[in-house]
Amino acid sequence: MEKTGRIIKSISGFYDVFDNESEEIVRTRARGNFRKRKIKPLVGDKVSFDATGDLGYILEILPRENSLVRPPIANVDQAIVVTSAAEPNFSSNLLDKILVNIEHNRIEPVIFLTKADLLSDDKYVELKQDLLGYHQAGYLVFDDQDSYNSQQLDKLKATFADKVTVFTGQSGAGKSTLLNHIDTELGLATAAISQTLNRGKHTTRQVSLFNICEGLVADTPGFSSIDLMEITPEELPTLFPEFLDYRDGCQFRGCRHVNEPGCEVKKALSEGKIMQSRYDNYLYFLNEINSYKKRY
């Protein structure tokens, strides 16, 4: 009997599928021809499956809205970018690189600041001022000094309903700790930062989707570096939402906002309507993308 559902967990060749009709979890395997067709089912995939017998079989993977390689997951609606204020230190370059990748995958990003309580009050005020630019660029930002206060957590949980949400961000930024504060049942492993490297140890091994606040939430590995290999120089300016507000006023269609005359984005930058750090990171990424092209 053919049914439809969503893969919520993958364990060494087996896939746990949430059955849309019965709302039960069915353990399945992928059909043999998947391997021949070089198709690998991902957590988050919407599938049709046959549930007769003790073990179900995935018959077909329904078209994906998007998919990520790291973590391997499909059909993601929202990404909570966990970014630490200290240990490891806040990096606008890394945050912007993650945001650009998320925008490229047509996923809605949300910024969540952790470890701000480790900063002096002056340093925190300074960082909050920097984050104001992200608010102005249209991002939803959670930046209370006490990251895990119940009011802020309730506001974050309210964004989960009817969405598949992933947690991502720099290694050691505190993704698993945040998830434990959201739902203590998860009991996810958290690890201390490796002081010598000032980098997190990867504490999360596999992707599973958990039912939280009427949505599905994944705990995912962090990363300490990420590249822009899939992004073209043409696409990059479209991945900065605040640039889109001004680009129609540019003199040239397809303006890269670098040296072109009559560039409305650069005008907005000079008037303080666009963050200097975001624009600097944009130029840095553009340079990185152009250097890939030269190399290949």
Instruction: Tell whether residue 175 is among the known ligand binding residues.
Output: yes
pLDDT for residue 35: 86
Instruction: Tell whether residue 189 is among the known ligand binding residues.
Output: no
Determine the Cα–Cα distance for residues 55 and 253; give it in Å rounded to an integer.
56
Q: Which of 27, 47, 63 is the last residue of a domain?
A: 63
Q: Is 48 in contact with 34 (CB distance < 8 Å)?
A: no
Q: Residue 228 domain-assigned? A: no
Residue pLDDT, tens place only, 45-101: 999 999 888 899 999 999 999 988 777 889 999 999 999 999 999 999 999 999 999
Domain extent, residue 79, equals 68-218
Instruction: Tell whether residue 117 is among the known ligand binding residues.
Output: yes
DSSP one-letter string for 11-22: ETTEEEEEETTT
Instruction: Tell whether residue 176 is among the known ligand binding residues.
Output: yes
Instruction: Tell whether residue 173 is among the known ligand binding residues.
Output: yes
pLDDT for residue 48: 97
pLDDT for residue 208: 85
Q: Residue 100 domain-assigned? A: yes
Instruction: Tell whether residue 238 is among the known ligand binding residues.
Output: no
Whether residue 49 sits in one domain with residue 146 = no
| Residue 238 buriedness (CB in 10 A; 0-12 / 13-18 / 19+) | middle
Q: SS3 for 78?
A: strand
| Residue 146 buriedness (CB in 10 A; 0-12 / 13-18 / 19+) | exposed
Instruction: Tell whether residue 114 is among the known ligand binding residues.
Output: yes
Instruction: Tell whether residue 250 is among the known ligand binding residues.
Output: yes
Q: Residue 223 domain-assigned? A: no
Res 239 pLDDT > 50: yes
Instruction: Tell whether residue 174 is among the known ligand binding residues.
Output: yes
Determine the Cα–Cα distance for residues 17 and 8; give it in Å rounded to an integer.
6
pTM beyond cutoff 0.75: yes
Tally the domains of the chain: 3
Determine the Cα–Cα distance for residues 167 and 241; give it in Å rounded to an integer.
21
Band of residue 197 on the pLDDT scale cut at 50, 70, 90: very low
